[in-house]
Amino acid sequence: MTGEMRVVVIGGGPAGVSAALHAAGLGAQVTLLERGRVGGTAFNSGPAPVRTLARAARLVRDWNSWEAFGLRGARPQVDVAATLANAERVAHYAYERKRVADHIRAAGVDLVEETGDARFLDAHTVAAADGRTWTADRVIIAVGGRAGRLPIPGAELGLTYADIRGLTALPDRVCVIGASDTGCQLSSILADFGCKVTLVEYGPRIVARADVDVSAGLEHAFHRRGIGVVTGAAVHELAPATDGVRVLYRTGDDSRAVDVDAVFFAVGWPGNADVVDAAAAGVKTERGYVVVDASAATNVSHIFAAGDVDGNSMLVSSATLEGRVAAENAVLGRRRQVAHEIVPAGSFTDPEYGSVGLTEEHARARYDCAVAVARYEDMLRPVADGHPDGFCKLIVDTASRQIVGAHVLGEYSAEVIQMVAACMAARMRVEQVAELQFAFPTFTEGVSQAAQMVVNQLSGRPVPHLWSSLGSTPSVLE
């Protein structure tokens, strides 16, 4: 039956590609529709070029520590055009190296690029912008999202993260509105490039989804770097100002303003459910996202959704997993659930942060937990590299002895967190993690140290003072 099943996947980003490949591997007849070039935000405008810009920013940052290592030299000058051109080259290389389109077609998928915005005509029929139509037994929506803007007067004066690629010169003064992952990454990169950055956040803390210790530690680090962080601030207008833009906002009862040369919105990532006209298929949506259950199924039995469009997670790794699960459930009629709890996240701020599983707050609400924090300043590699500010925090369910959350702040956090995610996926007990032997000296030693601290706690043995708990975050990062 699966060989006769026709599956249409709308959207050629990580979720759509994953879904199409997996569905084809299960024997379905698959058509993948992509409005532009396959690869989505990940290859074309997101992680690939952004990580390259972050690397350039780190190289500038590292100049500040040359003297401590006995090095001398003039401060590097940022050629923004050349830096952005290199980011574009890397994105193009990543796309070509992976031969994404060729790989998809070799798997037996009918890949149709440059369709424009494909839309539902009814629950089983999808049309391209030029009028071509496809009929399917199963449909997987993977059309991603787009950068959001605040609905305020003067919003047209603001830019989004994608617009940084069009800069011909660096602005001296920048305001970034929104302190989630994207806003913090953008602020960090621009600050390293020499811009004076003001980061304005509506909520009470930056990176609100992160563990509170990560939020506090990152904000403290930003302040030390000269990034102005304003939380609890509601931006209500952008207005022209002399040689730039005036950002007007309120904090409590106070009205304030900051004049800058450029404003970047980083205020969310609305789903593209409206673009695909999900309502025409009877698919339920909320705030631009397709509503799905834990198995990636919508309210319409033969339609599934994966990736940014479902609003669950804006990570490439999550999108890939959701696409695979959606394909399996669509083709085989299963109800496999998406295991978001073992999908790691990493952000290329300075310092980096990474996380997997539950925050300490959420973990304590569900489990009796043991928590331990290994400080970077107590490990040789971070100290030797000149980056002793940071920590690795493990949260363990005392009943199962398994890690239910981990949070890392500091150099190479996005790499370190992968180790913990692998341990969680393998359902290893913390005693097993503590016995792992890591290369020395490395940043991943923090995982072993924190695990050993938890084992000591659970066995009633004293934890050495060197591995004492985090305490107040500023003391770790001062």
Contact residues for 411 (Cβ-Cβ < 8 A; gap 6+): 351, 352, 376, 382, 385, 387, 390, 443
> Buried (b) or exposed (e) across 144-170, using 16+ Cβ within 10 A?
bbbbebbebebeebbbbbbebeeeeeb
pLDDT at 97 over 90: no
Residue 360, in any domain of the structure: yes
Q: Which helix (H) or strand (E) holds 446?
A: helix 445-459
Smallest CA-to-CA distance from 192 within 152, 225, 165, 219 is with 225
Residue 9, in any domain of the structure: yes
Residue 345, in any domain of the structure: no
Same domain, 131 and 202: no
Supply the DSSP symbol for 271. Answer: B
Same domain, 129 and 38: yes
Which pLDDT score, from 0 to 100, does residue 47 have? 64
pLDDT at 477 over 70: no
pLDDT digits (tens, 9 = 90+) for 390-403: 999 999 999 999 99
Q: CATH number for the domain including 251?
A: 3.50.50.60
Same domain, 141 and 41: yes
Smallest CA-to-CA distance from 212 within 417, 407, 410, 414 is with 407
Q: Which residue has the higher pLDDT, 25 or 38?
A: 25
Same domain, 184 and 306: no
Supply the DSSP symbol for 117. Answer: S
Query: Which range of residues forms the domain containing residue 463?
Result: 351-477
Q: Which stretch of 31-40, 59-68, 421-430 has the lowest confidence by average pLDDT?
A: 59-68
Same domain, 87 and 189: no
Residue 91, in any domain of the structure: yes
Q: Using only the alpha carbons of the chain, give its radius of gyration.
A: 24
Same domain, 327 and 282: yes
Query: Phi and psi dihedrals of 431, rounded to 5?
Result: -65, -35
Domain boundary pick from 290, 312, 340: 340
Residue 416, in any domain of the structure: yes
Same domain, 11 and 136: yes
pLDDT digits (tens, 9 = 90+) for 168-224: 889 999 999 999 999 999 999 999 999 999 999 999 999 999 999 999 999 999 999
Tokens of 123: 């629950």
Which pLDDT score, from 0 to 100, does residue 111 have? 95
Q: CATH number for the domain including 444?
A: 3.30.390.30
pTM listed for this prediction? 0.88
Mean pLDDT of 304-316: 92
Same domain, 23 and 130: yes
Q: Which stretch of 48-62, 197-211, 297-311 has the lowest confidence by average pLDDT?
A: 48-62
Asked, as a colleague might, if the bond just before 240 is cis with ω within 30 of 0, I would say no
| pLDDT averaged over every residue in the chain | 90
Q: Which amino acid is at 317?
A: S
Which pLDDT score, from 0 to 100, does residue 466 have? 52
Domain boundary pick from 265, 280, 313: 265
Same domain, 249 and 324: no
Same domain, 314 and 257: no
Same domain, 461 and 356: yes
Give 42's pLDDT tier (boundaries 50, 70, 90).
low
Query: Rounded CA gap, 305 and 15, in Å?
Result: 9
Domain boundary pick from 230, 265, 300: 265
Which pLDDT score, from 0 to 100, does residue 468 have? 39
pLDDT at 249 over 50: yes
Percent of the chain with pLDDT over 70: 93
pLDDT digits (tens, 9 = 90+) for 148-160: 899 999 999 999 9
Same domain, 172 and 303: no
Which pLDDT score, from 0 to 100, does residue 229 have? 98
Residue 373, in any domain of the structure: yes
Mean pLDDT of 348-354: 94
Q: Which amino acid is at 10?
A: I
3-class secondary structure per residue, 372-384: EEEEHHHCHHHHH
Which pLDDT score, from 0 to 100, does residue 76 have? 81
11 near 320, Cβ under 8 Å?
no
Give 94's pLDDT tier (boundaries 50, 70, 90).
low
- Count of domains in the chain? 3
Residue 346, in any domain of the structure: no
Q: Which stretch of 195-209, 312-326, 352-366 has the lowest confidence by average pLDDT?
A: 312-326
Mean pLDDT of 424-443: 94
Supply the DSSP symbol for 265. Answer: E
